[in-house]
Amino acid sequence: PYFENDTIFSPLTPYIKGKSREMRQGMIKKHAFIHHGEECIDMLVGVRMAAIAEDRFGHLNSSDLMVNVQGSPCLADTVQGVSRARLANPSRFTYINVENSSETIWTKNGQSLTIRLKGAFNHDELEKLADEDLFDIF
């Protein structure tokens, strides 16, 4: 049997939305840590961005969800890991290494969601502050 928690060997699985945002974000964080390997600030930023995108678009692994990341390699690695978006075959992930910027653009079915980090935040702030306090979301 395959489980969604297996970030490497799981085939496409049905999407079962977690009961609460806290639960969903916790699962995203777990996947991010397994994929990225360290709990750095940019990993936490990527987790929060992915949780916002999941609230809007649903299953992050959907084949028609395109992801663009502008920021650090850690942010890109985190977002790519939790969304399982690939650079090729099929291509649904793009990345531009930009210093001092953290932005993701999620696109699905003609709808777009841009999430941009407002400034520098510490670990506790990234865990506790509201989305609107951390990000410009449009």
**Stated pTM of the model:** 0.88
Run of H or E residues at 109: none
Mean pLDDT for back-to-back runs of 10 residues, the chain (138 residues): 49 65 94 96 98 96 96 98 91 96 98 98 97 98
Taking alpha carbons only, the member of 114, 79, 82, 109 closest to residue 94 is 79
> 108 and 64 in contact (C-beta within 8 Å)?
yes
Per-residue confidence (pLDDT) for residue 90, from 0 to 100? 85
Domain ranges of the chain: 21-137
> 45 and 126 in contact (C-beta within 8 Å)?
yes
Per-residue confidence (pLDDT) for residue 4, from 0 to 100? 53
Topology at the third CATH level for domain 21-137: 60s Ribosomal Protein L30; Chain: A; (3.30.1330)
Per-residue confidence (pLDDT) for residue 13, from 0 to 100? 58
